[in-house]
């Protein structure tokens, strides 16, 4: 983290960001394993802001795509929490490996959510994209996250810890093809460890508009709470494909 | 709509998604997706949206598989079958 951020923050600030990052990772892991304990007391542990945008999207009858930053904050809990609150919701992912949150979610005591698996080959991906489209047509919510890369389309560039960072042009294109309403969504926590899921007003399904609204929001979160992103090593190494 | 009309309209849609400039009809064995295919998964999504609009059919997630989208021939048969059942 020092290598990624040095020159951008003073030494004391950097140390504080590093401390908060360690706390975030430990808390994230704890929340995953403790899900069965706190899911039964959701109102004590989660504040959902902007759910009126979800309800409005539902009333329009065309579903909504919740869009988060990849590997940022507590996004992994957005789908389980919304399912528990009664929303018909799916999330996208790759591979058959189910994480702890997904396993708890499939337990009979909890509300289920859908899992759209991008799979390994082009046919799997095409099927997954069509599944996503069908879910949205059926007025469901789909939660997905957008990845970033060290190289890309200059129009999709955002500030990221003072490094080059380009959002995934493929997801932007998918949004434009599906013509789905995009609701930016970020999950952070307060200083007591309680989750805050923030859902923002809908963004028109056009690349420029997504970048103007979502891109600005994402950049702001990265600037204000840099400790909530989990891709430091990739940033430093400028790995292809992160 | 007869088979030839379906074939012609499908040909036009594939060319549009593929951004092909050729005027001649695509051959029956023109591979759409897979090892030698010209379309990626996102292009297939774009094609599916266009097919639904053009032919008034509904394409499910499971429909998107090699038997239906491998080449022009399989795609035309798939659309005809869908239309006959809708």
Q: pLDDT by residue (tens digit) across B13-40?
A: 999 988 777 778 888 899 999 888 889 9
Of A122, A127, A173, the CB nearest to B61: A127
C-alpha A83 chain-centroid distance: 16
Closest-CA residue of chain A to B41: A126
pLDDT of residue A209: 94
Token pair for A107: 């337990």
CB within 8 Å of A226: residues ≥ 6 apart? A5, A17, A161
pTM: 0.90
- B41 and A134 in contact by Cβ < 8 A? no
Distance (Å) from the alpha carbon of B62 to chain A's nearest alpha carbon: 6
pLDDT of residue A240: 58
Token pair for A112: 């289920």
| Dist. CA A228–CA A222, nearest whole Å | 8
- A125 and B41 in contact by Cβ < 8 A? yes
The angle, 0 to 180 degrees and rounded to 10, between the axes of the packed helices B72-85 and B3-18 is 120
| Dist. CA A68–CA B79, nearest whole Å | 36
- B61 and A130 in contact by Cβ < 8 A? yes
pLDDT of residue A16: 93
Contact of B62 with chain A, judged by CB distance below 8 Å, is answered with yes
pLDDT of residue A103: 63
Q: Considering only CB atoms, which chain A residues are within 8 Å of B62?
A: 127
pLDDT of residue A218: 94
Model confidence at B52: pLDDT above 60: yes
Q: Please answer whether residues A125 and A108 qualify as being in contact, where contact means their C-beta atoms are separated by less than 8 angstroms.
A: no
Of A123, A133, A178, the CB nearest to B65: A123
Name which of A126, A218, A139, A204 is nearest A172 in CA terms.
A204
Chain A residues contacting B via beta carbons under 8 Å: 122-123, 125-131, 133-134, 170, 173-174, 177-178
Q: Which residues, in sequence order, are bridge partners of residue A91?
A: A115, A143
pLDDT of residue A238: 65
Cβ contacts from A onto B, under 8 A:
51
Closest-CA residue of chain A to B48: A130
CB atoms within 10 A of CB A158: 20
| Dist. CA A187–CA A198, nearest whole Å | 6
| Dist. CA A116–CA A75, nearest whole Å | 16
Dihedral pair phi/psi, residue A186, rounded to 5°: -130, 140
Q: Work out whether strand A141-146 and strand A89-93 pair parallel, antiparallel, or are unpaired.
A: parallel
Instruction: Give me the average pLDDT of each 10-residue run along chain A (242 residues).
Output: 78 91 93 84 94 92 93 91 90 70 58 82 92 94 89 84 80 94 96 95 94 93 88 66 51
Dihedral sign, Cα of residue A222, residue A226, residue A230, residue A236 = positive
- A177 and B49 in contact by Cβ < 8 A? yes
Contact of B44 with chain A, judged by CB distance below 8 Å, is answered with yes
Contact of B42 with chain A, judged by CB distance below 8 Å, is answered with yes
CB atoms within 10 A of CB A206: 14
Q: Please answer whether residues A199 and A185 qualify as being in contact, where contact means their C-beta atoms are separated by less than 8 angstroms.
A: yes
- B42 and A173 in contact by Cβ < 8 A? yes
Contact of B16 with chain A, judged by CB distance below 8 Å, is answered with no
Give the three-class secondary structure for A177.
helix
Classify residue A65 as left (phi > 0), alpha (psi -120 to 50) or beta. beta
Of B33, B40, B64, the CB nearest to A130: B64
Between CA A95 and CA A105, with CA A101 as vertex, the angle to 5 degrees is 100
Burial B18-32 (b: 16+ CB within 10 A, else e): beeeeeeebeeebeb
Which ranges constitute the DSSP H helices of A9-85?
A: 11-38, 42-45, 51-60, 78-84
pLDDT of residue B61: 85
Closest-CA residue of chain B to A173: B42
The interface predicted TM-score (ipTM) is 0.90
Distance (Å) from the alpha carbon of B39 to chain A's nearest alpha carbon: 10
């Amino acid at each position: 983290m020092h290598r990624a951020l040095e020159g951008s923050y003073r030494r004391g600030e950097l140390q504080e960001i590093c401390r908060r990052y360690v706390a975030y990772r430990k808390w994230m892991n704890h929340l995953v394993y403790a899900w069965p304990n706190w899911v039964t007391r959701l109102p004590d542990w989660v504040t959902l802001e902007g759910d009126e945008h979800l309800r409005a999207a539902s009333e329009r009858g065309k579903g909504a795509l919740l869009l988060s930053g990849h590997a940022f904050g507590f996004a992994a809990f957005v789908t389980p929490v919304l399912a528990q609150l009664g929303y018909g919701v799916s999330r996208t992912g790759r591979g058959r490996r189910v994480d702890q949150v997904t396993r708890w979610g499939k337990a009979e005591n909890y509300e289920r959510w859908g899992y759209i698996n991008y799979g390994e080959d082009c046919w799997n991906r095409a099927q997954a994209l069509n599944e996503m489209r069908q879910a949205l047509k059926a007025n469901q919510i789909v939660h997905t996250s957008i990845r970033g890369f060290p190289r890309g389309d200059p129009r999709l560039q955002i500030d990221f810890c003072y490094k080059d960072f380009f959002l995934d042009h493929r997801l932007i294109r998918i949004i434009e093809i599906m013509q789905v309403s995009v609701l930016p969504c970020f999950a952070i926590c307060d200083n007591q460890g309680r989750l805050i899921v923030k859902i923002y007003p809908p963004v028109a399904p056009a690349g420029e508009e997504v970048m103007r609204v979502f891109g600005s929001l994402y950049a702001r979160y990265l600037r204000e709470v840099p400790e909530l992103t989990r891709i430091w090593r990739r940033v430093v190494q400028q790995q292809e494909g992160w | 709509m007869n088979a030839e009309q379906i074939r012609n309209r499908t040909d036009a849609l594939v060319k549009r998604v593929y951004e092909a400039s050729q005027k001649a009809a695509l051959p029956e064995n023109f591979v759409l997706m897979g090892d030698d295919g010209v379309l990626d998964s996102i292009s297939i999504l774009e094609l599916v949206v266009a097919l639904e609009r053009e032919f008034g059919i509904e394409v499910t997630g499971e429909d998107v598989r090699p038997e239906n989208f491998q080449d022009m021939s399989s795609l035309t048969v798939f659309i005809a079958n869908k239309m006959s059942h809708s």
